Structure 1
Amino acid sequence: MTTAPEPPYQRIAAEIRRRIADGELAPGQRVPSTRRIAEEWGVALATAARALTSLRHDGTVETIPRVGTVVAPSAARTTPQASHRSRAADTPKRPAEEDRDSRQDRQLSRERIVDIAIEIADTEGLAALSMRDIAARLGVAAMTPYRYVGSKDDLILLMADAAFGEATYPPDAPAEWRPRLELCARTMWRLHRRHPWLAHLSPLTRPVVLPNLFAHSEQVLRALEGHPLSAVTRFNINVLLYSYVQGLAVHLEREARAEVATGVSAAEWTDAQTPALRAIVSSNEYPAFSRALTEFSELPEGYDLDLDTLFELGLGALLDGFARMIEP
């Protein structure tokens, strides 16, 4: 009788366990992300996610918020039985296991599922989010989260509403329009920095209807009331301010994705562009650009493309433009 081939996700999990056993991956060190696994083994993201889920099941890896999936402290002592336990996750459950899952199900809530989903999105991005992975981290059956959340799209909206609700405004917030708008923009920027996936929710032309997002807009619109502006202009200013934050924040997750996919940091990538930049300077075809690069080379710290610095520079210019309409 021919033995059925081992599923790809099990082969991947076994290889990662081997790397840990051989010391190639040490406790606390990040393991390959779902994207990296998909690229290295040539599998779908779902298969890569299932491999990591298998490793979480047997305690080989753990997920740390804002760090990622790392080798668990006890992984170095893991025996070959761990591989057997991961395969056993796909076999029919005994009555005692079913009783255990029932107890865990009763401890679930929509809020807990949302918290786990936010943790995954913060560390691995929205693309890595799956209901199966959430169930695995909660230690419940794959379909259990659907009892609390209708679909992944519904879950993402709940996540976004929870994230936008993490920041509130004090009762004594500035009454003048400019300080109030500065407060709103910086609050939104901090939220996007904490949760980079927020910038990828939907196009600006298809706004999501979330109570906690409207709470931020409410602050902006209140600041603009009493000034010689139409309702259309007030709302457009609100949209522009949000769009400005969102537009810069998009690059937070893009950079994280690029680093995960290539293993190259932003600084390392920039250093690798040095020969191409030198060629541009020596070509004399872009004199203004060349002069700027020359000035950068004379600075002790060089040029650092810092998103926080860009945010503050752009916010000042944006508010200066608003001032022409608000204070003619």
Structure 2
Amino acid sequence: MGGGQAVPRYSRIVGELRRRIETGELAPGDRVPSTREITRQWGVAMATATKVLTELRREGLVHAVPGVGTVVTATTAAPSTPDAAPSPAPSARAARPGRSGTPARPGPPSGAPAGGPTGLTLARIVDAAVVVADAEGLTAVSMRRVAAELGVATMSLYRHVTDKDDLLVRMMDSAIAERPLPAEPPPGWRESMELAARQLWGLFRSHPWLAPALSLTRPQLITSALAYSEWVLEALHSRGLDDQSAFTAHLTLLNYIRGLAQNLETEREAEAQSGLDSEEWMDTQESAFRATLESGRYPGLARLTGTGYDLDLDGLFEFGLQRLLDGLAVLLDGNSPPGGRTGGTAGGALGPAGRTSGSAG
């Protein structure tokens, strides 16, 4: 890549938002556009939008507020309180609705310390950790970082969570609980499976860190995820599938969705390191790809260079989901037990708590 390469898209967006903040168009306490709003306004990938907010945080221009989003940081000095926290209290951050139209969460009453014993709760800690993970990835989450977001001492978090592993499980529990399954399932087994799978995919889309955090071989006890497991098992039991085969089918579907969703976090990390989104990166590789494909050794792939291929993860998810359900339909309509059951590790070693790894979907 030569020195005359165009400025990456995320840098241009950072510059625009920086200008709005410095000119007062976005005032302290105002919400800045979310990652989804950035993708819509500038037509960039989610990973690019995430990189934008990460850079603004690094410059100290914005910070995350649990339950509100990312808001402009106050640049003026705090009132003459010697021990004032370095970040503004939530009440100051939430003084008015954000420019996006979403009202900010009210802060504590005047005079109540935001990070004091009466202000710090488990829910606030988990919310803050999820906000950081959503914006910057799971590697950015630490007890120190979460405490800084809340304006409290790091040690105060340990009154509510045991350690980072405990916090991570609670984060996953909170994220999955955002999209509960309906009280009554659809009439057919396939419709039930589709609904659960699409909701899980939506969760992974909203929280890219969630798929890599879930473990298939060392399942975590995630209470809100049990409903997903039970939903799928009941849908398959209703068609007469035995317990072992139903749970194996459940894990197969879960791991398909989870495996595809891990690309979301991988892409975000790659963009953060390179400063290029996937489309920009492909542009830098196009000549090498074309030279290889034009050798004549890969005619099937070469044909795609003429027509192009739009890698759409949502479309890929839906295609694979339907093919998996097609296979399950054959199994459910047959009379003989399925071959190749996974008894061993995944199917046999997972007890009641183990179902939570195969929890969602």
| TM-score of the pair, normalised by structure 2 | 0.65
Cα displacement (A) at 1:132: 1.2
The yes-or-no answer on 1:172 pairing with 2:178 is: no
Query: 1: CA distance between counterparts of 2:145 and 2:261?
Result: 26
> Matched residues in 1 for 2:74 and 2:329: separation?
59
For structure 2, the 5+ residue unaligned runs are 1-14, 27-31, 34-53, 87-110, 335-361
Contact preservation (8 Å) 1:105, 1:140: no
Instruction: Indicate the residue corresponding to 1:249 in structure 2.
Output: 261
Check the 8 A contact 2:66/2:128 in 1, yes or no.
Answer: no
Say if 1:196 and 1:288 are closer, same or farther in 2 by CA, change over 3 A: same
Question: Hey, what's the Cα distance between the residues in 2 that align with 1:100 and 1:125?
Answer: 31
Q: Is the 8 A contact 1:189 1:245 kept in 2?
A: yes
Q: Check 1:102–1:258 CA distance in 2 against 1; reply closer, same or farther (3 A cut).
A: closer
1:174/1:260 Cα in 2 relative to 1: closer, same or farther (>3 Å)? same
CA distance in 2, matches of 1:162, 1:251: 22
Q: 1:61 — aligned with what?
A: 62
Runs of 4+ in structure 1 off by over 6 angstroms are: 64-70
Q: Which runs of 5 or more structure 1 residues have no equivalent in the other structure?
A: 1-21, 31-48, 90-98, 297-302
Partner of residue 242, structure 2 = 230
Q: Distance in 1 between matches of 2:187 and 2:196?
A: 12
Aligned to 1:4: none
Q: How many angstroms apart in 2 are the aligned matches of 1:100 and 1:185?
A: 44
**Conservation of the 8 A alpha-carbon contact between 2:65 and 2:149:** no
Find the residue that maps to 1:104 and give its secondary structure: coil
Query: Cα gap change, 1:65/1:109 in structure 2, threshold over 3 Å: closer, same or farther?
Result: closer
Displacement after TM superposition at 1:207 (Å): 1.5
Partner of 2:212: 200
Kindly indicate whether the alpha-carbon contact (under 8 Å) linking 1:161 and 1:212 is maintained by their aligned counterparts in 2: yes
**SS class of match (1:62):** strand
Specify whether residues 259 and 217 from structure 1 end up closer, same or farther in structure 2 by C-alpha distance, changes over 3 A only. same
- For 1:116 and 1:251, the matched residues in 2 are separated by 24
Alignment match, 1:320: 326
Task: Report the 3-state secondary structure (helix = DSSP H, G, I; strand = E; otherwise coil) of the residue aligned with 2:64.
Answer: strand
1:115 to 127, 138, 159: 127
Kept in 2, the 8 Å contact 1:173–1:180? The answer is: yes
- Map 1:1-328; keep pairs closer than 5 Å: 25-26=18-19, 27=21, 60-63=61-64, 72=72, 74-75=74-75, 104-296=116-308, 303-328=309-334
Deviation readout 1:285-325 (Å, 9 max, x if unpaired) = 111111222232xxxxxx21010010000001110011111
Secondary structure in 1 aligned to 2:63?
strand
Deviation per CA, 1:250-275: give whole Å up to 9, x if none. 01111111111111011111111110
C-alpha deviations, 1:36-77, integer Å up to 9, x for none?
A: xxxxxxxxxxxxx9xx79x76xxx53237899978x3654xx
Q: CA deviation at 1:105?
A: 2.4
**Aligned partners of 1:213, 1:230: CA distance in 2, in Å?**
21
- CA distance 1:100–1:291, shift in 2 (3 Å): same
| 1:23 shift after superposition | 11
- The percent identity for this pair of structures is 42
SS of the residue aligned with 2:154? coil
Q: Is the 8 A contact 1:66 1:123 kept in 2?
A: no
RMSD: 3.3
Please give the alpha-carbon distance, in whole angstroms, between the structure 1 residues aligned to 2:186 and 2:150: 43
Distance 2:249 2:305 in 1: 35
Distance change in 2, residues 1:226/1:74 (3 Å): closer
Deviation at 1:25, TM superposition (A): 4.8
Instruction: Give me the whole-angstrom Cα distance separating, in 2, the residues matched to 1:135 and 1:276.
Output: 46
Range with bigger deviation, 197-206 or 264-273:
197-206
**How far is the alpha carbon of 1:102 from its aligned partner?**
8.8
Distance change in 2, residues 1:187/1:277 (3 Å): same
Higher relative helix content: 1
Q: Output the TM-score relative to the length of structure 1.
A: 0.71
Inter-partner Cα distance in structure 2 for 1:135 and 1:73:
17
CA contact (8 A) 2:134 2:207 kept: yes
CA separation of 1:23/1:164 partners in 2, compared to 1, >3 Å: closer, same or farther? closer
- What is the rounded CA distance, in whole Å, between the counterparts of 1:197 and 1:319 in structure 2? 26
- CA distance in 1 between partners of 2:201 and 2:136 (Å): 20
Q: Which structure is richer in relative contact order (CA contacts within 8 A, separation 6 or more)?
A: 2
Distance (Å, rounded) in 2 between the aligned partners of 1:237 and 1:190:
20
Give the direction of change, closer, same or farther, for the CA distance of 1:73–1:165 in structure 2 (3 Å limit): closer
* Residue identity in the other structure for 2:322: G
